[in-house]
Structure 1
Amino acid sequence: MTIINLSDKTHIVLKGKELDNNCASLFLESNYNWLDDFIVSFFEKPECSLYGWGPIQTYPPYTVILRQDMPSNAVYYIKTGTVKLMWSDKDGRELIAGLRHKNWFIGAPSVLLNKPYSFTVKTITECKMRCISTNNFLKLISTNFEFTLHLMKMLSQEIYNHGRKIVIFGCIPARDRLKILLRNFISSIENHGDFRNKMKICLPLTHRELAQIIAVTPEHLSRLLKYLEKQNIIKREKDGIILLNLLYFQNSDQ
């Protein structure tokens, strides 16, 4: 049995194979994966430092990058890794607002609007990032038209994805949303060439956060996991989930 600790991986690839169900396909497409050749090449060039981007910094899992309601004094570019966006109320109750992956900018909307950060951003895997101050970022977008155009595309993608997710949660049953979420993790393991008939994944999210991502209560998530366990599809352990029947996650009609 292969044991995969996703917190130790450089990044999680949340991209599954194409599903027959249109709504399920929308669910996969609504993940915040972003690939822009211009942005990738921009950060490979030495001159990006001339605009004020700092060197690549490595952040271990569970490092807070930005804090909710703090002044927006910097923008970060995720070169590799995955972060979670969290919102908390005045009583300290937290809600996970989503995940962001490599090639994404975090903090940019708050900087552009001159408002405090709307979320706390915390790494859930090891992340490599570059940082730029607010002043330098605003100078960059006012002097580099091509960079600004691609930044606008990314921010538009975020709005587009958010609208799709609202519709998605109304047309995909909770059990299928959980199935697709776990399938996403399996896909990332397959891409690393270490695939077995049975494997254990150590998810970098809490039970409550997993429930929030698929828009169910923690209690209902427990019932869904219990159902999968009774069907001998998974086996739960304290530090992860053993996937016993990978074919279940590969098929979209079960």
Structure 2
Amino acid sequence: MKWPTYMQAEPHRTSFYPEDAESVPAFVPILTQGVEGIGNLPSPVTVASGTELIQQGRTVASVYLVRRGLVKLVYLSESGEEITLGLRSVGWWGGAVAAMLDSFSACSVQAVGECEVIRISGRDFRERLKSNPSMMGHFLKALCNENASQTEAQARVMSGTAAERLTIFMRERQKKNPRWQTIDPLPMLKQMELAQLLSITPEHLSRLLSRMRSEQRKQPA
């Protein structure tokens, strides 16, 4: 989906961080680089947009390491509604936690656009972690990135307003930060997916975007 040019970040300041501190990105995916330093990985394969890599409620037979592109975590509610829980990108080990715990996956993982992934069986993944320090180090870094981002997102959802979350998302997608490498997911998202990601109703998101567009027009050229 092509998003309008008025969707630009607004100035934002969080009161609980020092002036020079950079908070962990809450809503845009953090990239975990360094996959090329892991030896003896299987060759990557290309998957089409919409491909379901991992299915909710099923045991995880394979772990998928994202090498290129974007995937989304999707939860299917009892009423049949698909809810976008989060976005992940390069360096994320999809299904790794469930494979390590030998448990069911709490959500599905779907490709958003064409992606490139490395597929490793759950058993092989566990064995490789034991014998490959580089792989273990990368996995732990990716896991820490994900945990920090999820905590930041939960804090934003539980303590901030919908308008603040939209502003934070716009800031995160545009800002280049040397500490946190991210990807701009907006061009690949539908408006419903963005609303769910930010925990905003689609109707309210439409109002916020309309207000943002009006304010953009009022600014001097």
TM above 0.5 = yes
Question: What corresponds to 2:37 in structure 1?
Answer: 41
Verify the 8 A CA contact 1:26 1:168 in the aligned structure 2.
no
SS of 1:130's equivalent in the other structure is strand
Alpha-carbon separation, structure 2, partners of 1:82 and 1:23: 31
Question: What corresponds to 1:68 in structure 2?
Answer: 56
Select between 95-104 and 208-217 the one with higher mean Cα deviation.
Answer: 208-217
Question: What corresponds to 2:84 in structure 1?
Answer: 96
Are 1:212 and 2:199 counterparts?
Answer: no
Alpha-carbon separation, structure 1, partners of 2:205 and 2:114: 27
RMSD across aligned C-alpha pairs, in angstroms?
3.1
Write the deviation string for residues 88-146 of structure 1: whole angstroms up to 9, x where unpaired: 12331121110001111101011001012221111112211110111211211122234
In the comparison of the two structures, how many residue pairs are matched?
202
Structure 1 gaps, min length 5? 7-15, 189-200, 234-243, 248-254
One-letter amino acid of the counterpart of residue 72, structure 1: V
Verify the 8 A CA contact 1:71 1:116 in the aligned structure 2.
yes
Show the 5 A alignment for 1:6-17. Answer: none
Are 1:137 and 2:121 counterparts?
Answer: no
Alpha-carbon separation, structure 1, partners of 2:16 and 2:69: 27
Select between 101-110 and 134-143 the one with higher mean Cα deviation.
Answer: 134-143
One-letter amino acid of the counterpart of residue 36, structure 2: V
- Given candidates 158, 161, 177, the residue that maps to 2:146 is 158
| Structure 1 residue 60: Cα displacement | 2.6
- In structure 2, the CA distance between the partners of 1:30 and 1:206, relative to structure 1 (3 Å rule), is closer
Alpha-carbon separation, structure 1, partners of 2:145 and 2:186: 30
Write the deviation string for residues 14-66 of structure 1: whole angstroms up to 9, x where unpaired: xx9x96545695363664313343x3321xx4x33xxxx3x211123222221
Alpha-carbon separation, structure 2, partners of 1:164 and 1:184: 12
| Structure 1 residue 171: Cα displacement | 4.4
Verify the 8 A CA contact 1:27 1:168 in the aligned structure 2.
no
Structure 2 gaps, min length 5? 4-8, 177-184
| Structure 1 residue 215: Cα displacement | 1.5
Show the 5 A alignment for 1:90-239. Answer: 90-186=78-174, 203-233=187-217
- In structure 2, the CA distance between the partners of 1:74 and 1:154, relative to structure 1 (3 Å rule), is same
| Structure 1 residue 184: Cα displacement | 4.4
| Structure 1 residue 183: Cα displacement | 4.4
One-letter amino acid of the counterpart of residue 23, structure 2: L
Verify the 8 A CA contact 1:23 1:171 in the aligned structure 2.
no
SS of 2:53's equivalent in the other structure is strand
Question: What corresponds to 1:197 in structure 2?
Answer: none
Verify the 8 A CA contact 1:74 1:134 in the aligned structure 2.
yes
Alpha-carbon separation, structure 1, partners of 2:27 and 2:199: 14
What TM-score results when the alignment is normalised by the length of structure 2?
0.76
Verify the 8 A CA contact 1:62 1:123 in the aligned structure 2.
yes
Alpha-carbon separation, structure 1, partners of 2:198 and 2:80: 22
